[in-house]
Structure 1
């Protein structure tokens, strides 16, 4: 099995018994990149009671997105979009526009939303993880471990809506369809 695993960090467990079948640098801190959005969606689902609400995508996020060259779903400034559509945009397209819009909708800004994410880490006993943003952009103090990622996935998959969003291969919004991206398929490998 070692020959086929190219990742620097890896963890394979039996989900029925929680027995570790294979671990490679699973306790080593790594930059999560778009895997950050698994926590973004988790926290959003726990703080938004009605996913059908339509909210405006704030114009204020687009300068930051352009400056950082972050990936986007393609929402337009001031476009009214259902919360559910944003969550699919976060997970399937790894959209920073969707992630930042969700953060602003829940608590007014990214900083306060990140605080909620880090509080959730404590609750899930994810002691080797820390977040600095909602979109997964590189930061020296933004990291996780394979062990902590598994805790987050196990927790998330208990939520039916999270599981539906995470498992979706595509999702249509008006005339848009989001297709499964790389980080998503990699994360799927972790839970199959």
Structure 2
């Protein structure tokens, strides 16, 4: 992997459009943009509310308590995915999906694309998964209904994604619009 030793540079974006509660980001690229190597995602500044379980009165009776009841209480952690669709100049679509790890807020995550040598027109990012399991500030919840929460604004893809390109330092002068990521 020679890319591991090359510096990475941000690819300029001609225009961006957010939709679907800011969970979808479309980035339109300038003509003659170098091949996209991947993208950087500045992770979200949201909180996942803690799930609590109150046993039913029948579970409190010790003779009914069993491992089966413990398995019924298993709670899966909230999982987020980002789906990336690259629209190439030829009109061909390339789709990738990445599972997002649990990290601290505002941590930068880097994702490399498979070989994308052909020029691209547009890149569409779609955040999906357990998006309703996250909130902006847990103190703002009234506690009445945790199931019908609006989508947290901290999950917005606005200003979170930067496309990048691997380049040798001598290429920096050839492509003046690139800046280090």
TM-score by length of structure 1 reads 0.27
Structure with greater proportional strand content:
2
Structure showing greater radius of gyration is: 2
Structure with greater proportional helix content:
1
